[in-house]
């Protein structure tokens, strides 16, 4: 496994180590944003790093460029709730990223039925650049095992 694809597990959060530039490129590609926006996002991130603007101002600027709170939080290296609080203070409705189609829990259940291990499920999410809490996977697996035992018993 190359250095770029290492999976770090700690503090219940599973995340793929990526450079900020890689995260920006991935967001632009995934969301099919204009390449001009990529440069504007990089400028905002650089200004935050150089402390020309505050993190809060950077959050607002990236949100106004169309990024979801989760995306801008990962790019700026701030906690999701910090980004959410900054945006919710300014806007009545907050734009959040939603998993398309079925939710994460449904996807986890499907992978469990296919025989994936907890670690395997986490790696599947990482391949699609989605973030999943490993405890969530364990909890769903435990619930599915209880259901299975009720049906048998």
Residue 99, domain member (yes or no): no
Of 43, 63, 90, at which residue does a domain stop? Answer: 90
- Asked if residue 115 and residue 145 are part of one domain, the reply reads yes
Looking at the 3D structure of the chain, how many domains does it have? 2
- Asked if residue 108 and residue 62 are part of one domain, the reply reads no
- Asked if residue 69 and residue 33 are part of one domain, the reply reads yes
pTM beyond 0.85: the answer is no
Residue 3 has pLDDT above 80, yes or no: no
- Asked if residue 118 and residue 84 are part of one domain, the reply reads no
DSSP assigned state of 3: G
How much is the pLDDT for 102? 58
Residue 150 has pLDDT above 70, yes or no: yes
**Nearest alpha carbon to residue 129 among 11, 28, 12:** 28
Q: What is the pLDDT of residues 87-131, one digit of tens each?
A: 988 887 776 665 554 578 888 988 999 999 998 888 888 777 677
- Asked if residue 82 and residue 13 are part of one domain, the reply reads yes
Residue 96, domain member (yes or no): no
Q: Report the Cα 87 to chain-centroid distance in Å.
A: 17
Q: What is the pLDDT of residues 28-68, one digit of tens each?
A: 888 888 888 889 999 999 999 999 999 999 999 999 988 88
Q: Which of 8-17, 73-82, 117-126 has the lowest mean pLDDT?
A: 8-17
- Asked if residue 81 and residue 43 are part of one domain, the reply reads yes
Query: Domain range spanning residue 19?
Result: 3-90
- Asked if residue 109 and residue 76 are part of one domain, the reply reads no
How much is the pLDDT for 148? 80
Residue 95, domain member (yes or no): no
How much is the pLDDT for 17? 66
**Kind of pairing, strands 13-16 and 7-10?**
antiparallel
Which is it for the CA torsion 124, 73, 66, 87, positive or negative?
Answer: positive
Q: Across residues 16-32, what is the average pLDDT?
A: 81
Residue 50, domain member (yes or no): yes
Cβ contact 67:26 at 8 Å: no
How much is the pLDDT for 124? 84
């Amino acid at each position: 496994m190359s250095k770029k694809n290492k999976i770090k597990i700690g503090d219940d959060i599973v995340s793929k180590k990526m450079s900020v530039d890689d995260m920006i490129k991935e967001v632009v590609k995934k969301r099919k944003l204009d390449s001009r926006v990529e440069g504007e996002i990089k400028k905002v991130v650089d200004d935050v790093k150089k402390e020309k603007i505050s993190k809060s101002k950077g959050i607002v600027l990236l949100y106004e460029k169309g990024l979801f709170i989760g995306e801008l939080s990962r790019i700026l290296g701030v906690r999701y709730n910090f980004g959410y609080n900054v945006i919710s203070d300014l806007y009545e409705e907050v734009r959040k990223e939603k998993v398309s189609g079925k939710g994460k829990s449904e996807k986890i259940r499907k992978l469990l039925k296919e025989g994936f291990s907890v670690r395997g499920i986490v790696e599947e999410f990482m391949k699609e650049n989605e973030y999943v809490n490993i405890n969530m996977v364990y909890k769903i697996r435990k619930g599915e095992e209880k259901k299975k035992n009720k049906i048998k018993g």
